[in-house]
Chains A and B, each alone.
Chain A
Amino acid sequence: MSKGLGTIHQNKTGLYKHREWRGFRDTMFDYYRWLVTWKDMIKMILKAPISIVKGLFRYRWMASYLTTPAFVDRHVEGLRGPQLRMAHLHYNMIVKHATGVIATSFMADEKSNPNNKLSKKIVCLDELIPLEVMAGFPNLIGIPVQTMPIFLVSMVDQQSVPPYLDSVENYGVPADVCPLPSAEAGVAIEDDYPKLGTCMVVCNMPCDGSVMTSSFQDRRFKLPTHVYNVPLRYNGEDVQEYAVNEVKAMIKFIEEQTGETFNWDTFLAALNTYNKQLEFEQQKWDVNKTNYPQLTGASFWLYRLYYYHLSGGFDKRFLEVDKKVNKIMLDSYAKKNPVSKVVRHRAVVWSCPANYYTSFPVWLENCWGINVVMDMETMISMVKFDTTSHEGALGTLAKSYQRTTMRKHTKGGYKNVVDELWRVCEEFKADMVIMYDQISCKGMDGLVGTFEDQFRERKIKFVWVQQDLMDSRTISRRDMREQVNKYMTSVLQEKPVDESLVDFDDTEAW
């Protein structure tokens, strides 16, 4: 692990004074991957230069994507050897796919390209609906409408969201609601969603705020809209018939609106591909349970989150990446390579992470030797699709959709998040829990006392880290770090692995 990682950044902006020196081989590799990120971004622009440039000037959030190389840099800080290679493979796949979605969105945007044909092929989906269902419509394109304008960009640039939050709060929505759906409503108020698509499917996931933000967005999209309802008490078999009926109703709606017929062959093929992805995922989990975990930090959960929602099983590039990553991982595991130079604590990260500080686990590792072996966002659905029958496929699809990001744990009863945490700690041999206190998440706020009671009984090192999901003005990255610093120095009385990372100001950074 490098000493003095905190010294390579400029104060406040976090811009590099110089790139990190990782030894000749790793530095060259890292620089090469940095060039690859730029290559993929330029490729996107060349796909439709006029539309992309129009989008850049039309949509406030688009400018933030120009900082993507810095986003990748933040997330690979301190990594070496196999870990560096695996992380870059993950991030590059995210960049490749996201640039494709942005390019498609701008080419289909009726604001800049009125009456274009591409728009008619697009089905807008709420970002929480994973894309597998669209595999049954190979002639259509499913676009998760909020992902690019707000969700992903909030991870790329912490400054991108506040203007939308200001907008929605000026409109009258209280500041205490969860800032994710609130910011989505803000984008609608600012008319900053590309106008595209032939119809829209909204859903009740993950939480109460997401339910309510739909009514703001509907007013802007003005598309024929279907509400896809996912049961909340999802553990019981008693809601599964209803869940399957809801999937069927969604498919029927898309068929009616687009004139397309659901193609079972392409659908089942995509589910089979996704099942293979799940096998690779399980391998990662299994390795992280051992004394030689190989994937810690941030790329593990960010990639998982991304492919679960956006690969849909039909984009086979993800599977290729999985193959490469898992090969590197297993080789490294066979050699019993430590995941980082200093591993002091095996931590589980629980609750929703701060989008404006997705690289927080990287800092934990570099500064304090806290390696995140598992987290809540990674532990979303592991339901394997049954591809032996149509009903079986829909049944398992419905089950998987009931266990999406943020929702699997925050809905369906406290046991899904409280008891589950203790189970995960045991399974992954964690001695520490980094517990995000996302102050606006009502589902998690309602369990703070119970967590307090139960972790004391279990004698687990439990570090509360307050954050506000999308709004770095409420609790800054620095404030988040300070909470860990205090715990590590006051309670555990440990010395940092890298002193230069303990306290620095990055309030103006992307």
Chain B
Amino acid sequence: MKDLKHLIYFENLLQEANNDLVQQATKDGKLALGYTCYHMPEVLLNLDNCFSVRLRAPRTGSMDIATYYLSNFLCGYTKALLERAIEGGYNFLSAFLGGETCSEMNRCMEHFEILKLIPNDKFFVSFFDMPFKTDEHCLDSYMQQIKMKVLDKLHDVYGVDTSSDAIRKAVELHNEVCKIISEIGEYRKEENPRITGYEFHILCLISYCCPKYLVIDKLRETLEELKTRVPDAKKNYRAKVVVVGSEMDDPDFTKYIEESGALVVADRFCFGSFPGREEIVINDGEDPLRAVCRHYLKTSQCPRFMEQAKVDNRKAFVAQLAKDYHAEGVIYEQIKFCEFWGYERALASHIITNEYGIPSVSIDRNYTANGTGQLRTRVQAFVESLEIKRIHKAKEAKNK
């Protein structure tokens, strides 16, 4: 396939959290608001003169100091962020916002406060209380928390316009980006997709980590480019898979999976597009803040949701993705020491294989895609098993 025009530009942007576009936006007088979790509604960090940056720590090396503070037993993502913060890598931030959604990230965020890591008098870290289910009174509480701990604070500290009109405006831009990413994602349903999982991962990450108003034109251009892109006649993969699991912001993982013979056609992980790139619907006469909070509460696929319907839906959702995107298997991945995904990976891979009849493989991994020999071996073996299953199926069909 012909290379995407902006791919190298996008790849370079992902080499730094404080990339060129982030720098440009801060120079423009915009406020950079950091977040790490889906439950912090991204769209609300793009109000008025703010822009959201979903925090990553690309090219992470040693995490010795973060390990001193967070021990050996916390996930690499939290430690990489703390290490980078201690190094001064997030000094551009005006605030860091999130909920106490997992203990590990919560402790990481707290250290921004304890160690006073950001040299900005106005910088603040805000924690909201996030419910574990989706009842109406949970939505009420979630909304109240977001208003109090995020919007009001932004207004009070930085004078940000958090009115309903500002929210509607932010939703418009957000939806436009989501629409572009989703349209690009639709091409992954094709029999021989015109976009690889790696390329899509890059585009998706860009949409999370760069100021949207600065990147939207190039994303739009990429979508146009894809409309006429012709895939290679000979398929470059041996099986299609859905990747499901915890936080994954290093696109090299997708690259290595694809180099091992599996094409990633759907991404159900944090920093992926399911969920994350669905358009937000505000009904007529509805309070836009309520609509936004409802959207994130309902669409979240995080394993911390405990109600039975949500628990069951998580597996059904993955099965549906596999069906819609013609995937033959599911790769359940978990960043090491992630408590939520440690359980979910074990149980869900069992259910998806034994109850939904979709082959799956379950892997744990580090934060960065270093030392991926094990990962490649596991994926290669999985791809082979999918091929064998395909051969057996064909034989059975023939015998019938």
Contacts and interface: CB of A to CB of B under 8 A. Distances in A.
Contact of A209 (B130, B133, B334, B339): B339
A285 B394 CA distance: 74
Given A172-B349, A173-B343, A227-B306, A446 B336 contact: no
B104 to A, nearest CB: 5
B350 interface: yes
Contacts of A249: 135, 137
B352 to A, nearest CB: 12
Interface residues of A, number: 50
Contacts of B114: 414, 450
Nearest to B135: A249
Given A176-B342, A211-B132, A232-B129, A218 B74 contact: no
A328 interface: no
A208 B71 contact: no
A358 to B, nearest CB: 23
B221 interface: no
Interface of B: 68-74, 78, 100, 102-104, 106-108, 110-111, 114, 127-133, 135, 137-138, 140-141, 144-145, 148, 303-304, 306-308, 311, 334, 336-337, 339-340, 342-347, 349-350, 362, 364
Interface string A380-419: 0000000000000000000000000000001111100000
Interface string A147-185: 000000000000000000000000111101110000001
A233 B100 contact: yes
A7 interface: no
B308 A245 contact: no
A242 interface: yes
Contacts of A413: 100, 110, 127
A56 to B, nearest CB: 30
Contacts of A218: 308, 311
Contacts of B339: 177-178, 207-209, 212, 442
A238 B148 contact: yes
16 contacts: A173-B346, A174-B334, A174-B342, A211-B132, A212-B340, A216-B343, A227-B132, A231-B141, A232-B130, A238-B129, A242-B131, A413-B127, A439-B73, A442-B73, A442-B74, A450-B69
B306 A446 contact: no
Nearest to A238: B148
Contacts of A214: 306
Contacts of B68: 448-449, 452
Q: Nearest 4 CB-CB pairs, A to B?
A: A446-B107, A449-B69, A172-B346, A212-B343
Nearest to A230: B132
A414 B343 contact: no
B144 A238 contact: yes
Interface of A: 171-174, 176-178, 185, 202, 204, 207-209, 211-216, 218, 225, 227, 229, 231-233, 236, 238-239, 241-242, 245-246, 249, 410-414, 439-440, 442-443, 445-450, 452
B133 A229 contact: yes
A225 B311 CA distance: 12
Contacts of A442: 73-74, 102-104, 107, 337, 339
A478 B53 CA distance: 49
A211 B306 contact: yes
B100 A242 contact: no
A446 B103 contact: yes
Contacts of A446: 69-71, 74, 78, 103-104, 106-108, 110
